[in-house]
């Protein structure tokens, strides 16, 4: 009997140590992913922004390699609430970079392939719900990107593409809203982001139409108009990590 309880004690201590390690590393992944998103400046050339993001994502990959032995098989599901925030933030950063590079959605397979070792073996089976929630978060980042990009030369055309992309994401994610616990709330946020993009587009397109035929450069007029109107709220800051609703300590 004593040996049985000693075995239980050792197993319990091992689980606590594993959880502590996962909490710490998941926080590092979350913070590094946020930094990756913030390094993508809408005012920079797209190629340069994507290159910076790719370098940071490569560094984050080493953090996932670090936790891989602790999330094998059923251990992933045992500690999913601990690692989910980091996984979702990584997916947001990865899919944001992917969209800027290719103009398309990063598929589940794309994300899973990015979470592999040099031999191509996955660190763990990517939970579908984390993928969906990470993509949902992407729409908010695209909204912030669009509001800044719309003031650039050729910005309205780019923002129209983003608007269509976000609208399609919202429509497709709605199919999973009943099955993924946090998704309905995020869908509401996505709808608000879509509305902000549409309002910004409406404003600059209408203002641009008013000046057509005057001989002035329409892009310059739109840039001045967009700069004088605040379409978005304050951007989330890196310092808010500890207050993120996806708290690693849950």
Domains, the chain: 1-126 (1.20.58.190), 136-237 (no CATH)
Do 247 and 89 meet the contact criterion of CB atoms below 8 Å apart?
no
Per-residue model confidence as pLDDT tens digits over 236-245: 444 444 444 4
Residue with tokens 């089976």: 125
Per-residue pLDDT at 181 = 92
Per-residue model confidence as pLDDT tens digits over 155-171: 889 999 999 999 999 99
At a CB cut-off of 8 Å and minimum separation 6, what does 12 contact? none
Per-residue pLDDT at 216 = 53
């Amino acid at each position: 009997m004593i040996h049985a309880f000693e075995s239980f004690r050792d197993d319990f201590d091992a689980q606590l140590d594993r959880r502590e390690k996962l909490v710490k590393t998941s926080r590092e992944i979350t913070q590094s992913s946020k930094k990756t998103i913030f390094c993508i400046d809408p005012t920079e050339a797209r190629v340069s922004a994507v290159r910076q993001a790719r370098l940071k994502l490569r560094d984050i990959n080493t953090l996932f390699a670090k936790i891989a032995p602790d999330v094998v098989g059923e251990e992933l599901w045992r500690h999913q609430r601990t690692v989910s925030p980091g996984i979702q933030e990584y997916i947001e950063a990865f899919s944001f970079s992917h969209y800027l590079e290719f103009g398309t959605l990063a598929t589940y397979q794309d994300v899973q392939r990015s979470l592999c070792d040099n031999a191509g073996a996955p660190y763990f089976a990517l939970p579908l719900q984390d993928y969906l929630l990470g993509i949902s978060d992407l729409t908010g980042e695209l909204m912030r990107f669009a509001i800044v990009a719309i003031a650039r030369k050729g910005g309205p055309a780019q923002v129209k593409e983003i608007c269509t992309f976000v609208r399609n994401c919202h429509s497709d994610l709605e199919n999973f809203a009943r099955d993924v616990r946090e998704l309905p709330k995020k869908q509401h946020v996505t709808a608000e982001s879509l509305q902000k993009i549409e309002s910004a587009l409406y404003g600059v397109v209408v203002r641009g139409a008013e000046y057509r035929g005057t001989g002035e450069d329409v892009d310059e007029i739109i840039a001045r108009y967009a700069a004088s109107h605040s379409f978005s709220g304050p951007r989330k800051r890196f310092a808010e990590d500890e207050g993120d609703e996806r708290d690693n300590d849950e």
